[in-house]
Amino acid sequence: MYTAFMKTVRNSAKAIIIEDGKILCVKFQDRDGFWYILPGGGQNHGETLTEALIRECREELNAEVKPGKLRFIRDYISAHHEFAHEDNDAHQVEFMFSCSLLSGENLGPGSEPDPGQLGVEWLPLERLDDFRLYPQALKKYLKIVGLKQGPVYLGDVN
């Protein structure tokens, strides 16, 4: 059997939390400045996507969320993108859900923030082009279809 040569694909659940014309993101910094991602992360064995989403938001945002509809799906094959030099062997399928905050009085890194996570930040939707938000393709899809349609398969985009 050839399974010893097979690579694994990891599922990830991401939260799209929009309030008052702003989207909630996790904040990082590298030599080029600040960059942002949607809160969320990898699905554990035996965990549903929405359970993973709730857990990850608790860990990264210190908040409880209510998952809504699935809006976007993206393949992330790291060898095809700008961070390939750091990890060229990752393949992740990201499922992005619209979500609402159930609690968020003390937003910030939660019990298990991502390595290098500086905090969280609300980014104005009308100024998304001013920020390094990943996946970058999400910016145009939020402008075109918003959260009214879905799910939309984005492909292997950055």
Count of domains observed in the chain: 1
- 155, part of any domain: no
- Name residue, tokens 């097979």: 6
Q: What is the pLDDT of residues 35-68, one digit of tens each?
A: 999 999 999 999 999 999 999 999 999 999 999 9
80-133, pLDDT tens digit by residue? 665 545 566 778 899 999 999 998 678 887 777 788 889 999 999 999 999 999
Confidence tier at 27 by pLDDT (50, 70, 90)? very high
In angstroms, rounded to a whole number, what is the distance separating the alpha carbons of residues 67 and 84?
31
Q: Provide the residue type at 64 as one letter.
A: E
CA distance 65 to 149: 21
Please give the average per-residue pLDDT across 4-29, as a whole number: 87
Name the nearest CA neighbour of 126 among 7, 18, 6, 9. 18
- 33 part of a folded domain: yes
- Residue 136 forms part of a structural domain: yes
- In whole angstroms, give the CA distance from residue 109 to residue 117: 7
* pLDDT value, residue 116: 81
The range of the structural domain enclosing residue 37 comes to 18-148
Cross-strand bridge partners of residue 101 = 65
Q: What is the pLDDT of residue 152?
A: 77
CATH number at residue 76: 3.90.79.10
What DSSP assignment string belongs to 87-121?
Answer: -TT-EEEEEEEEEEEEE-TT-S--SSPPTT--EEE
